[in-house]
Structure 1
């Protein structure tokens, strides 16, 4: 009598799949879009502006670094999302207030200092000019402004390779564009700026596997 010998099949699967102890096919955590960094950076400089900030970059409000190491076996495309909290500012005639922010990215090296004197990611602010009286004194006037929450997205230009680390550095400043009037609001100036917070996210997107695992 002949006996047949059976062996377990050897099935190949991609890097985005795995099996559990019972042999059931499962997805790897990196096979779906996932938040790999999600931090809230608070402003440390909100409040009254008591002296003109007419030289860029101005007063630093938010300063936050974040990083993520790709521990998966596949390159990952990463989307950076920066969400700015509600901003508030008060300025007196005839002055101006402006927020600027910027972030920098680098892989496997420190991110550069995000300077806003030239290139920046966003700006918002306003100015008020109600003119002057017959002796060149500014007419009394103040302006209150608010900006809603908003987000900006940026794709990291190249995929983050396995074992590599993506570094981000975010900064937000406020400044008072010149010229600056020292006798604003008829010598009763009020100036204030609040950036509140910024939420910084990195989202890793799954990629097609290059190899198979036996």
Structure 2
């Protein structure tokens, strides 16, 4: 009578795998893309706009997000910024502009995201309908708005096990010079609303280096 040898199967796992109590193979939570930070901030300065011709302007939104890599592998991080709908009203012959920026750092505090020079995004408009015979700005107002939008940036280096990653986002509004105090035939109206913004961090797992089992 032939004897059939039986070998108990072994499950080999890497850093991205594990087994449950029944011995079934499972993925670790960090093996798939996952949202590790999600911070929403409302604008603290929406409403009437006064002449602000010096950069960076008036601060509207100021939020931070952070995460520590608690996995045994390096993680690639995607920064996602979601801008809420924005609205502004300007009068002839003036301009209104939003600017935003984000900065980040590993195992350190990121530098303040000031938009005086470098910035990640800008939106705004101006209206110029000229003047009348006595050099008064012609009457005219402009209402503008943008829909909610989203932008992504990959961090150019991986975040190692145990390392902390922090990101900082700010949005400002300003009135690019020259600014006319007698706009709209001496009836100036200027408003700006940034509403809100969300700062998200998404971690992406990397290939493991060790196989056991």
Band of TM-score, shorter chain? over 0.9
Where in structure 2 are the equivalents of 1:1-214 lying within 5 Å?
11-49=11-49, 51-214=50-213
Name the TM-score, length of structure 2 as normaliser.
Answer: 0.94
Give me the whole-angstrom Cα distance separating, in 1, the residues matched to 2:151 and 2:10. 47
Give the superposition deviation at 1:128.
0.4
Give the superposition deviation at 1:11.
3.9
SS in 2 for 1:115: coil
SS in 2 for 1:177: coil
Give me the whole-angstrom Cα distance separating, in 1, the residues matched to 2:192 and 2:186. 19
The runs of at least 4 aligned residues of structure 1 exceeding 6 Å deviation read none
Give ranges in structure 1 of 5+ residues lacking alignment: 1-5
Retained in 1: the 8 A contact 2:40–2:63? no
Retained in 1: the 8 A contact 2:159–2:165? yes
Give the superposition deviation at 1:10.
5.0
Alignment: residue pair count: 208
Task: Tell me which residue corresponds to 1:3.
Answer: none
Cα deviation code 1:8-58 (max 9, x no counterpart): 655431110101111111110011111111221111111101x20000000
Give ranges in structure 2 of 5+ residues lacking alignment: 1-5
SS in 2 for 1:67: strand
Q: CA RMSD in A?
A: 1.3
